[in-house]
Amino acid sequence: MFESLSDRLGGVFDRLRGRGSLTEADVRAAMREVRVALLEADVALPVAREFVDKATEQAIGQQVLRSVTPGQQVVKIVNDALVAMLGGDGDGSAAELDLGVTPPAVIMMVGLQGSGKTTTTAKIARRLSGGQGGRERKKVLMASLDVNRPNAQEQLATLGTQTEVATLPIVAGQQPVDIARRALQAAKLQGYDVLMLDTAGRLHVDQALMDEMRAVADVARPAEILLVVDALTGQDAVNVATSFSQQVPLTGVVLTRMDGDARGGAALSMRAVTGKPIKFAGTGEKMDALEAFHPSRVAGRILGMGDVVSLVERAAETIQQEDAEKIAARLAKGQFDLNDLRAQLQQMRKMGGLGALAGMLPGLKKAQSAVQQVGGDKVLIHMDAMIGSMTEKERAKPELLNAKRKIRVAKGSGTTVQDVNKLLKMHQEMAGAMKKIRKMGGLKGMAAMFG
């Protein structure tokens, strides 16, 4: 899975990474190749287009970090775009099942015949029940609502025995909605935590199937409705997912046959076409062949450039660190002018909290609580504007700011002379704190003091 896509992208990036500089045209050409690679991997056209547009815009707008090459930076941007495409919310970790608060939580499985629905029902049940090494220990009941396919209900019962998960006794001739009702009642009466409903599939999407899904959902009020799709069916899987998501309120997708040699397009398109995360990947016929779907890991596998991605992440961190160290070096010499204050204020704003040094310096802690008291971010913006309205000389030597100059600064920054005075007082207090620190033997002495 993903192999040929991985090879294609690898080729594009190998060519980029060797280069010392990249023009906009280079980036655009590379992204065109990325687009072709995605389409060849069976990614849906609109999904591929949006992906490439976003990544291109980012790559062109991006300032290149010191200590990485532009090509490396582009790899990182494409990696992040892949994670987003696969449905990573923020950290790229797997989306969990949401089982609600009042048991029994109903998990309804939907999908076409042969997609792996019954197998996946039993795999998830096993995982939740802790049977055969599953992680959680929930009391799970499974019920098959498939009255179309001969022996479907027996197939689930067999898997239940195999996985040591209870199944609802079969009543011949009962219809899906009635089975769902009976299953729900049994689950309530017998204190089950989770009820898994394996619904009937069809060979194709048809209206009768959709109506049946909706009727069952009305009765069972599922916490999760998981669509099972076969990754090997590629573009068809995408079409199936689109139809289902338009008619049934899905909460997630399970992609089966990820162990096969699918080109991967289904996996890559699924989030975009359904708006729902892939929660699990089926990776084989055995009952333990089910994995949580981690977008960041999958992206890593596709690009095969985990080292480059972490290099760029580290470089970004290092630069913050270097900026902090530069200020620290000045402080150690007892220098703390309004430029230094401004740099710290900007860092506070960027990081939404204390600047990198603030944890170490009592003066900065004071500044921050002062800022919070008077209203947070807005104040930081005002302070930045005031310092911005000063001349370079005034910033280096705040004592130059007499009454006349203060009026000019206040006017220039849309603040008042009072505000300017507050800023200067804060700077003075901080500079004083820095001097004390220096007397104690600089940052080293302070570090010793704070242990």
Least separation in angstroms between CB 97 and ligand GDP? 18
Answer whether 5's CB lies under 8 Å from 302's CB: yes
Among 116, 222, 300, 355, binds ligand GDP (CB under 6 A): 116
Angle at 129 between CA 128 and CA 131, to 5 degrees: 120
Cα separation, 432 vs 288, in Å, equals: 64
Q: Does 282 bind ligand GDP (CB under 6 A)?
A: yes
Q: Does 283 bind ligand GDP (CB under 6 A)?
A: yes
User: Would you call 369 helix, strand, or coil by DSSP?
Assistant: helix
Least separation in angstroms between CB 144 and ligand GDP? 9
Q: Does 79 bind ligand GDP (CB under 6 A)?
A: no
Task: Give residue 110's identity as a one-letter amino acid code.
Answer: V
Answer whether 337's CB lies under 8 Å from 398's CB: yes
Q: Does 117 bind ligand GDP (CB under 6 A)?
A: yes
Among 3, 50, 164, 259, binds ligand GDP (CB under 6 A): 259
Of 74, 52, 2, 6, which Cα lies nearest the Cα of 272?
52
Cα distance between the two ends of the chain = 52
Least separation in angstroms between CB 149 and ligand GDP? 7
Q: Does 284 bind ligand GDP (CB under 6 A)?
A: yes
Q: Does 416 bind ligand GDP (CB under 6 A)?
A: no
Among 119, 167, 251, 274, binds ligand GDP (CB under 6 A): 119
Residue nearer to ligand GDP on the CB measure, 10 or 114: 114
Size of the site for ligand GDP (CB under 6 A): 17
Answer whether 153's CB lies under 8 Å from 173's CB: no
Q: Does 199 bind ligand GDP (CB under 6 A)?
A: no
Of 408, 429, 432, which Cα lies nearest the Cα of 420?
408
Q: Does 256 bind ligand GDP (CB under 6 A)?
A: yes
Q: Is 118 labelled a binding residue? A: yes
Among 14, 206, 285, 317, binds ligand GDP (CB under 6 A): 285
Cα separation, 198 vs 82, in Å, equals: 32
Whole-Å CA distances, 226 to 15, 80, 221, 233, 242: 41, 26, 13, 18, 14
Residue nearer to ligand GDP on the CB measure, 201 or 300: 201
Answer whether 89's CB lies under 8 Å from 332's CB: no
Q: Is 92 labelled a binding residue? A: no
The region of 111-119, 124-132, 162-170, 408-416 touching ligand GDP under the rule CB under 6 A is 111-119
Q: Which residues bind ligand GDP (CB under 6 A)?
A: 111, 113-119, 201, 256-257, 259, 282-285, 289
Residues that constitute the known binding site for GTP: 111-118, 198-202, 256-259
